[in-house]
Amino acid sequence: MVKNKVLVVVGPTAVGKTALGIELAREFSGEIISGDSQQVYRGLNIGTAKATEEERALAVHHLIDVRELTEKFSVFDFVKEANFLIREILEVGKVPIIVGGTGLYIQALIEGYHLGGQENHEAMMKLRAELSLLSDEELFERVQSAGLTVVEMNRRRAMRALEIEHFGSDEENKDSEFEFCLIGLSMARADLYARIDKRVEMMMTAGLLDEARGLYENFPEVQATKGIGYKELFPYFSGEILLDEAVELVKRNSRRYAKRQLTWFKNRMAVDFFDVQEENFREKIFELVRDFLGETGRE
């Protein structure tokens, strides 16, 4: 049994996280927990790049299709449910593998706090946005002015100290009981953007338009409509723009989101990044995981 050790696969959209997660699950006897804020919703399969039925048959997946479109899902919900699933997976001797690109969710899970519960989610987002705009010097000065002590000061630790100081350090803000190995995937930006554009085109062929139209006609105000791949098509349905323009918006916003994801994971979390365009990147990742788990391969 692997005690308290959790694998985490992160990176920008379309970089190949799903495929790697499945490979790790099969090699190291693991189960996958989705770390994506949109894949929890039933009926949103294409636009969220949800693992297909065939892919889910290769490895056990959790936190997919666990909410109706009319329900909300927050960072508070994710941390609570992911922690429960991690414990369950560890108890049966499997390796929990978080796979996803929602940086806020994954950071909150790894750093072990909910920041005061669901009602403080919006306030937390506002504070993080404010802190992210500060230079290192300004950020560190704010930590010192608040009288906080941060060992080995860096941006991530400084921001966390200020967040906990602001929201409190009650029972919900305790350190995580798990040890995490963070694996990041990346590739040359031009190639990633080309891959994103191609995937959007494939999604359109697969039926994204009908999936988005179902949201527009039946659930126009729900949280799920805010996701990239859906909201950009709404102006087409209302006759404001042409379909080609809407598709270009999906591509543009997906590329911008990928850039934000990379910035988040590189600046706020201690991630080991691997270039998926290197021929032996999988072997390097597997070696890292074996060292982390203390194993030599599949059980």
pLDDT tens per residue, range 54-103: 999 999 999 999 999 999 898 889 998 999 999 999 999 999 999 999 99
Question: Are 203 and 229 members of one domain?
Answer: yes
* Higher-scoring residue by pLDDT: 90, 138: 90
pLDDT exceeds cutoff 80 at 136: yes
Question: Are 253 and 194 members of one domain?
Answer: yes
Measured CA to CA, the distance from residue 249 to residue 236 in angstroms comes to 11
- Alpha carbon 87 to its chain centroid, in Å, reads 20
**Would you list the DSSP string of 218-254?**
H-TTSGGGGSTTTGGGHHHHTTSS-HHHHHHHHHHHH
Residue 149 structural domain: 118-174
Sorting pLDDT into bands at 50, 70 and 90, what band is 297? Answer: very low
Q: Is 13 annotated as a binding residue?
A: yes
Question: Are 197 and 156 members of one domain?
Answer: no
Question: Are 159 and 216 members of one domain?
Answer: no
Chosen domain end from 222, 241, 258: 258
Per the domain annotation, does 1 fall within a domain? no
Mean pLDDT estimate for the chain:
89
Q: Is 16 annotated as a binding residue?
A: yes
Question: Are 194 and 254 members of one domain?
Answer: yes
Structural domain count of the chain: 2
pLDDT exceeds cutoff 80 at 163: no
Average pLDDT over residues 234-255: 98
Question: Are 212 and 164 members of one domain?
Answer: no
Strand partners, 30: 95
Question: Are 212 and 239 members of one domain?
Answer: yes
- CATH number at 197 reads 1.10.287.890
Q: Which of 117, 85, 118 is nearest to 99 (CA)?
A: 85
Per the domain annotation, does 246 fall within a domain? yes
Average pLDDT over residues 33-54: 96
Question: Are 196 and 162 members of one domain?
Answer: no
Q: Is 15 annotated as a binding residue?
A: yes
Question: Are 145 and 195 members of one domain?
Answer: no
pLDDT exceeds cutoff 90 at 124: no
**What is the value of pTM for the model shown?**
0.81
Per the domain annotation, does 40 fall within a domain? no
Q: What is the pLDDT of residue 231?
A: 95
Per the domain annotation, does 159 fall within a domain? yes
Per the domain annotation, does 136 fall within a domain? yes
Q: What is the largest CA-CA distance in the chain?
A: 58
Per the domain annotation, does 105 fall within a domain? no
Per the domain annotation, does 53 fall within a domain? no
Residues 278-293: pLDDT tens digits? 999 999 999 999 999 9
Per the domain annotation, does 126 fall within a domain? yes
Q: What is the pLDDT of residue 298?
A: 42
Measured CA to CA, the distance from residue 101 to residue 265 in angstroms comes to 9
Q: Is 17 annotated as a binding residue?
A: yes
Can you read off the two tokens belonging to residue 274?
């691997």
